[in-house]
Amino acid sequence: MPNQPLIEPEHTNSAIGAFFEVYNTLGFGFLEHVYVRALEIELRRRGHRVGREVGVQIMYKGEDIAYQRMDLIVDEKLVIETKSIYDLRKGARRQVYNYLRATNLEVGLLFHFGPEPTFYRTICRNPMSRSVQSEESV
């Protein structure tokens, strides 16, 4: 895919920096809620508004069918999902994409607090479409 400008680069860069700060401070081995709370603190210290366990309604043909909670929303622009298991399961990246589809947000980050810190960025230009515009990992 040709290079495209990043969406919300200031938010994603700051969040990724916060992720590495939390990982470098706590290391591997804590439960997910520990990392989420530390990440929330670090993001707030960086000047962001952070919503934790923000609910999103899932719709089917105009009817509400389910309710899911996202780990973090940053400045109402960025979804962050965290995982702290040893091996990241394949569906974790799809979970972030589905959160984007269910909201009006376009950028999601999956932070894996595993044996090595890893993040994945997911972009969904049209939240209700089924096509991923770009996806990358580091």
Q: How many CB atoms lie within 10 A of CB 105?
A: 21
pLDDT digits 0-9 by tens, 7-66: 887 999 999 999 999 999 999 999 999 999 999 999 999 999 999 998 888 888 888 888
Report whether pLDDT(127) > 60. no
Beta strands 50-60 and 107-113 are: unpaired
Domain ranges for the chain, please list them: 9-137
Domain 9-137, CATH among 1.10.287, 2.30.29, 3.30.450, 3.40.1350: 3.40.1350
Q: What is the dihedral of CA 138, 72, 102, 86, to 10 degrees?
A: 50
pLDDT digits (tens, 9 = 90+) for 59-99: 888 888 888 899 999 999 999 999 999 999 888 988 999 88
Contacts of 44 (CB under 8 A, 6+ apart): 50
Contact 120, 78 (CB under 8 A): no
